[in-house]
Chain A
Amino acid sequence: EVQLVESGGDLVQPGGSLRLSCAASGFTFSNYWMQWVRQAPGKGLAWVSRIKSDGSTTSYADSVRGRFTISRDNAKNTLYLQMNSLRVEDTAVYYCVRHYYNAPDYWGQGTLVTVSS
């Protein structure tokens, strides 16, 4: 059974940093592109970032480029999102998502990031 378990969400002040992790199991992690998608409270879904299966290629939404860094450790079956210079508008549930035929096929339960003073 595919499982994606996020962790690391917290309350942080504007300008602060946070690192999210996603532990993957039930599939060969190193074979799949992975991504992060977020959902602000009461709002819709927004794509954040994605990374190639071997970690060699990364992409970001304009709203986070230069502040967020996606990475992965295939030996540990773990995906990461380093979030710097956080803004109030980054407040959201962050989902770890597997990438399949350019579609998001499996989702974690999400981790809440709250940016507030």
Chain B
Amino acid sequence: DVVMTQTPLSSPVTLGQPASISCRSSQSLVHSDGNTYLSWLQQRPGQPPRLLIYKISNRFSGVPDTFSGSGAGTDFTLKISRVEAEDVGVYYCMQGTQFPPTFGQGTRVEIK
């Protein structure tokens, strides 16, 4: 299985400041169809996960442009340009290129 490793595991951030989460996969996530199926999800406290980004950098419907995704191959990054109180939660990367789909261990974003 593809192992997804996120860093850091915890990220205390000041309101209004940027935050960045890294995700590294144990194998290339480039699919034979040319796409890279790397997604980012947000899970607020007590809520189900919510899709933020798919195929590395595509924001899902309703996701604010303060969230952006980048990367290629095995190294990916989620950036929050200005952290707001509602951004508190756990963020997961997920790969859908290789079977079975696998998730990172999660990064907790909290306010300093």
Contact = CB atoms under 8 A, between A and B. Distances in A.
Interface of A: 37, 44-47, 59, 61-62, 95, 100-110
**Chain A interface secondary structure, helix, strand, loop or mixed?**
strand
Interface string B69-111: 0000000000000000000000010101101111111100000
A10 to B, nearest CB: 19
Nearest to A49: B100
9 contacts: A44-B104, A47-B103, A59-B99, A95-B49, A102-B96, A103-B39, A104-B39, A107-B51, A110-B48
Contacts of B92: 44-45
Interface residues of B, number: 24
B105 A102 contact: no
Interface of B: 31, 35, 37, 39, 41, 48-51, 54-55, 60, 92, 94, 96-97, 99-106
A60 to B, nearest CB: 8
B105 to A, nearest CB: 5
A63 to B, nearest CB: 10
B94 A45 contact: yes
Given A101-B37, A103-B96, 6 more contacts: A44-B106, A45-B49, A59-B99, A101-B55, A105-B51, A105-B54
A103 B102 CA distance: 11
A104 B106 contact: no
Contacts of A103: 37, 39, 51, 54-55, 94, 96
